């Protein structure tokens, strides 16, 4: 199964991805996570990406496309994979189509997590993340058991610098201009499934589960 998760920042892609990963044994490949780790480790291209991420803008297409192709070529994914946060522009979507074609892989489905803008602004201001393993937390709904320590890996739980309100507004604008057109791009291919992403995380997951179980058959 090869799927893409699409939606506004804060729509719940990362949270749902972790749950999908566990049940369907489908690795989550998140460009945001990969970029944040490169920033933390200050690798060569992590440094190149830093200004874009901090400003709430997209890292240039050629950098992200190179990164994802490298990642997809490096590991074998016998059960498929789930792309979270990629593609985010039409150029990236077209590059992904070409790359998958060269591997003889068909993209099965795009899960589009549909949520109100006011809701994501609220969610992003209370979101926290483990700086080591990137597990998402939330001060309103999902705190770690020990203060600021990740339940899974013991890493430090922090607020992402790009979840500050001024950067969030820029990220939403970036989404409108560059990522939203992908809904039409994939709708024309008839592979978009809309998942209403309001309310309880488990309820949203039940919708996801139903869709993926059908796809598995």
Residues that bind ligand AMP (CB under 6 A): 9, 31-32, 35, 52-53, 56-59, 64, 85-86, 88, 92, 162, 171
Helix, strand, or coil here: 39?
helix
Task: Give whichever of 59 and 192 is closer to ligand AMP, judged by the CB atom.
Answer: 59
Helix ranges, 87-164 (H): 90-103, 117-126
- State yes or no: is 117 an active-site residue: no
Give Cβ neighbours of residue 112 (< 8 Å, ≥ 6 apart). Answer: 6, 7, 183, 186, 192, 193, 194, 195
Q: How far is the CB of 62 from ligand AMP (least distance, A)?
A: 10
- The single residue of 13, 36, 123, 128 carrying the catalytic annotation is 13
Give Cβ neighbours of residue 170 (< 8 Å, ≥ 6 apart). Answer: 55, 56, 57
- State yes or no: is 160 an active-site residue: yes
State which residue has the least CB distance to ligand AMP: 32
- State yes or no: is 171 an active-site residue: yes
C-alpha to C-alpha distance for 143 and 128, rounded to whole angstroms: 9
Q: How far is the CB of 198 from ligand AMP (least distance, A)?
A: 19
Residues marked active site are found at 13, 88, 127, 160, 171
């Amino acid at each position: 199964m090869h799927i893409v998760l699409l939606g506004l920042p804060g729509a719940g892609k990362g949270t749902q991805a972790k749950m999908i990963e566990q049940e369907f044994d489908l690795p989550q490949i998140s460009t945001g996570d990969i970029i944040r780790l490169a920033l933390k480790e200050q690798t060569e291209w992590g440094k190149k990406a830093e200004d874009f991420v901090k400003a709430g803008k997209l890292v240039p297409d050629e950098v992200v496309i190179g990164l994802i192709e490298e990642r997809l070529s490096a590991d074998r994914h016998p059960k498929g994979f789930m792309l979270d946060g990629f593609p985010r522009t039409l150029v990236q979507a077209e590059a992904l189509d070409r790359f998958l074609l060269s591997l003889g892989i068909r993209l099965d489905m795009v899960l589009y997590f549909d949520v109100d803008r006011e809701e994501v602004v609220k969610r992003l201001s209370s979101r926290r993340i483990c700086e080591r393993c990137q597990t998402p937390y939330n001060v309103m709904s999902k705190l770690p058991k020990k203060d600021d320590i990740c339940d899974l890996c013991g890493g430090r739980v922090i607020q992402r610098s790009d979840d500050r309100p001024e950067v969030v507004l820029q990220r939403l604008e970036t989404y409108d201009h560059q990522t939203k057109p992908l809904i039409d791009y994939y709708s024309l291919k008839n592979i978009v499934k809309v998942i209403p992403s309001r309310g309880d995380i488990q309820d949203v997951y039940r919708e996801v589960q139903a869709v993926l179980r059908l796809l598995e058959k």
